[in-house]
Structure 1
Amino acid sequence: MVRFRRTALAAVLTVATAALSAAVGLPAPAAAALPTAAVALGDSFISGEGAGAYSPVVDVIGASQPFPGWSAPNSNAYFCHRSPNASLHQADLPGVQARFNLACSGGQPYDIAAASATRAKGRQVAAQLDQLRAVGQTHDIDLVLVGLGSNNSSFTFGSVAEKCANRFIADAWTGWWEFWAYLGGPVEQKPCGDADLATAAQFSAATAETTAAVRQILTTLDQIDADGQHRIVFQDYTNPLPPELAQVYWSEDDRDDTRDKFRALGAERYAAGCPIHRASLAPGHRFSQGLGTLVNSVRATLAAEFPAADLVYLNVQRAFDGARLCEQAGSPTGTLATPIRLQDGPSGVFVTSLSGYDKLDIQRIANACGTYFQTCQESWHPNAAGHRVLGRCLTGAAATASRAVSCVRAPDGTVTVG
């Protein structure tokens, strides 16, 4: 009863104070400030794919989805793979009181304003803008980390990686004539070239698509942010593979990857996490650089459209220097990226060695990845250690006075942003 009377009295005094202020022309008492927040939007390099310990994800109808089992549909919201080890949670962000990871593995520009569930191969989650609006109702958004561009309606990182890895595996285990004799048709076995990854026209279309989506993010933030003050960090991508493999991975049993069939070398590179032709590495790095150009172009275009906006381009293409898969002997130990790992069906047990498997075994294992994509979707992504490095990159981007910064890892492991 005493508590009720005090509460009632406080309410009366508040009303009386407001009335008195209005009568004498004084300003009304300020509303309580909302707690501050940092938010992540975008795709797998932001969500924490590869970093493990994934959190349950609320689906499009509001139900929390924990791990549903390896044989569940890949569209399940859980497979957004939002990790507490993601870079958003690793960064030092003074003054930020809460962090919200709204990114989703496989996310595309389409998923920003529309529910991912409404497109082909989308996940059962609401539009990222709808999720952002919900955060804006309870928090003052001070920082937004955006990672978009590697997946779009023209190409996706997963399809590019799958294409190049499959070509290497096919080349390693099967002679050219065996595909006709055993599998009934030709399968590409040559290294990936630039046009196999993304053409200039596809990059142009992806840039326009990504720009339109991020424009909607900026417009929405201007509508919902409590104080109108927020920094938006545009992060690009780092290649999980080096410009050149360590020499120990060049050949095995006196066979390199320019020969017809090289199973021992294929098994060695798979175990190390880098089943790829050496000739595919340079096109892969040009693809990564193209993604960087895409992201920077998006930032530049929107900076001109929103001159008062606080927009920063974060280049992380050299953040994993010296610690990429197969860059040093002993890979994948000590690397900052996840190796390619497949399951032989949705068993939950990863195949870490392909030694002893024949070509039909390899085909079966590869088909499991196609049928149950979640069994291999962590492949070639930043691991938990990689996300710690990306968190340091974000720390620098959040504090910089520059409009563009690069995050670079030195040979001794030191990471600088500038």
Structure 2
Amino acid sequence: MRRLRSPLVILLLVIPLVGLLLLISDGPAPKLPAPPEDAPRAVVALGDSTLSGEGAGDYEPGTNGENGNWCHRSTKAMINKLSVPDLAKTFNLACSGARAANLVDRPQHNEGPQVPKLLEIARQYRIAAVVVQVGANDEPGFSSVVKDCAEAWLRANVTGCSGALATGWGERVDKMVPKVAAALKAIRAGMRENGYPDASYQLVVQSYAAPVGRTVVHSLRNLGGCPFRGGDLEWVQDKAVGELAAGLRTAAAAADARFLDLSRAGMGREACSTSGTGDGEWFTRLKISWTDLSDEGRSAHAMQESFHPNAAGHEQFARCLSQFLQTSDKAAACVADPERNLRPVPGAAIGARAAK
């Protein structure tokens, strides 16, 4: 049996260790990286097509199919239309088609993930707010749903697209929630590592507006405008975007983020809600780029802009977001005022989905 070391030997080993610990604890804590004190204030957008500016046109060079990059970042995107005091710069990192993983660690369209780019900006600018709009391309597959609804009209499907989705839509949303929550927590963690306590900037999660609804003019329910069945239009407006918004509010709460509900923001301004050419609408109708359709390398994206907010829609969403950023309300909903301009109304946001 091994002999125990004498108390004197143990003491001689412990004393230097205790001294080292005291020296470390008495010294200054390591300083976290942070932007310069006089750095200009900036707001950064992360997410998918709704934030990138898909449908608004005037896309930034390099994001309109060049070298396979279809992020479609528009100079008219809502992030570029913000009106916030003392704001020096806005950065649009959102990319059309992005999923939650594309924010954190998965590249897309020959670009790296979005959060590392945010952190690079955070070391040069003082971040006032990070605006996130993502999740629709995860399990809900909202873009695919819109496509399925159009195909249901084309094939004269009696039940439409909503019949098959009515019972499973909530499950899709529930599967999305932890992925968005994880992306938001990754933003929080990265910002802390770069000298930003949670309270030093705003983290805002936005939901999605319905691009079409029951106001679609019947004569435009065709390939010249909005090829959808009446029941499907009602389902998108009354159920799909609302449940999606509730799920996103749940994800926002998991990261202690603010929440801006856009689910009713486009009511009366959806695509094909007027009988004219679309003036006054905030969303693009079915749009086909015939030039892209005749180009083998671009044909798959010839209808990519369809049923996304147009430039007028982005102006209005920017108006609502600008006002929300200047409040302390934890949540609000973008609702039209008597002049039909959007404004954030506290207490009007949809409630979070019940935990599963």
TM-score per shorter chain, which class? 0.7 to 0.9
2:202 pairs, out of 231, 234, 239, with 231
Q: CA deviation at 1:36?
A: 1.4
- CA offsets, 1:73-99, max 9 Å, x none? xxx22x101111111111111122111
1:295 pairs, out of 248, 254, 257, with 248
Q: What is the aligned-residue RMSD (CA, Å)?
A: 2.6
Structure 1 partner of 2:152: 167
Q: CA deviation at 1:344?
A: 5.3
Letter matched to residue 35 of structure 1: P
1:35 pairs, out of 14, 33, 40, with 40
Aligned residue for 1:138, secondary structure, equals coil
Letter matched to residue 232 of structure 1: L
For the 8 Å contact 1:232–1:312, the answer to whether it is kept is yes
Flag the 1:137–1:331 CA change in 2: closer, same or farther, 3 A: same
The separation in 2 between residues aligned to 1:233 and 1:68, in whole angstroms, is 29
Flag the 1:35–1:169 CA change in 2: closer, same or farther, 3 A: same
Aligned residue for 1:379, secondary structure, equals coil
Aligned residue for 2:136, secondary structure, equals coil
- CA offsets, 1:93-132, max 9 Å, x none? 1122111100101010110112334xxxxx2110111111
Flag the 1:389–1:297 CA change in 2: closer, same or farther, 3 A: same
Aligned residue for 2:262, secondary structure, equals strand
Q: CA deviation at 1:283?
A: 1.7
The separation in 1 between residues aligned to 2:197 and 2:184, in whole angstroms, is 20
The separation in 2 between residues aligned to 1:400 and 1:378, in whole angstroms, is 32
For the 8 Å contact 1:312–1:397, the answer to whether it is kept is no
The separation in 2 between residues aligned to 1:290 and 1:146, in whole angstroms, is 18
For the 8 Å contact 2:259–2:332, the answer to whether it is kept is yes
How do 1:51-90 and structure 2 match up within 5 A?
51-56=56-61, 65=62, 67-68=64-65, 76-77=68-69, 79-90=70-81
TM-score by length of 2: 0.79
1:392 pairs, out of 312, 315, 319, with 319
1:47 pairs, out of 42, 48, 52, with 52
The separation in 2 between residues aligned to 1:194 and 1:95, in whole angstroms, is 49
For the 8 Å contact 1:321–1:410, the answer to whether it is kept is no
Aligned residue for 1:142, secondary structure, equals strand
For the 8 Å contact 1:91–1:394, the answer to whether it is kept is yes
Letter matched to residue 110 of structure 2: Q
Say whether residues 1:199 and 2:204 are aligned partners.
no
The separation in 2 between residues aligned to 1:195 and 1:411, in whole angstroms, is 38
The separation in 2 between residues aligned to 1:104 and 1:328, in whole angstroms, is 30
Say whether residues 1:143 and 2:129 are aligned partners.
yes
- CA offsets, 1:288-334, max 9 Å, x none? 1111101111112222xxxxxxx321011222222112223225232
Flag the 1:136–1:339 CA change in 2: closer, same or farther, 3 A: same
Q: CA deviation at 1:148?
A: 1.1
The separation in 2 between residues aligned to 1:339 and 1:319, in whole angstroms, is 17
The separation in 2 between residues aligned to 1:338 and 1:147, in whole angstroms, is 19
Structure 2 partner of 1:374: 301
Say whether residues 1:333 and 2:318 are aligned partners.
no
For the 8 Å contact 1:47–1:102, the answer to whether it is kept is yes
The separation in 1 between residues aligned to 2:82 and 2:327, in whole angstroms, is 14
For the 8 Å contact 2:170–2:243, the answer to whether it is kept is no
The separation in 2 between residues aligned to 1:66 and 1:294, in whole angstroms, is 30
Aligned residue for 1:80, secondary structure, equals coil
Flag the 1:392–1:345 CA change in 2: closer, same or farther, 3 A: closer
For the 8 Å contact 2:272–2:285, the answer to whether it is kept is no
Structure 2 partner of 1:277: 229
1:242 pairs, out of 213, 234, 237, with 213
**Aligned residues between the structures:** 308
Say whether residues 1:313 and 2:266 are aligned partners.
no
Q: CA deviation at 1:139?
A: 0.9
Say whether residues 1:405 and 2:332 are aligned partners.
yes
Letter matched to residue 176 of structure 2: A
Q: Which runs of 5+ in 2 are unaligned?
A: 1-34, 346-356
Aligned residue for 1:317, secondary structure, equals coil
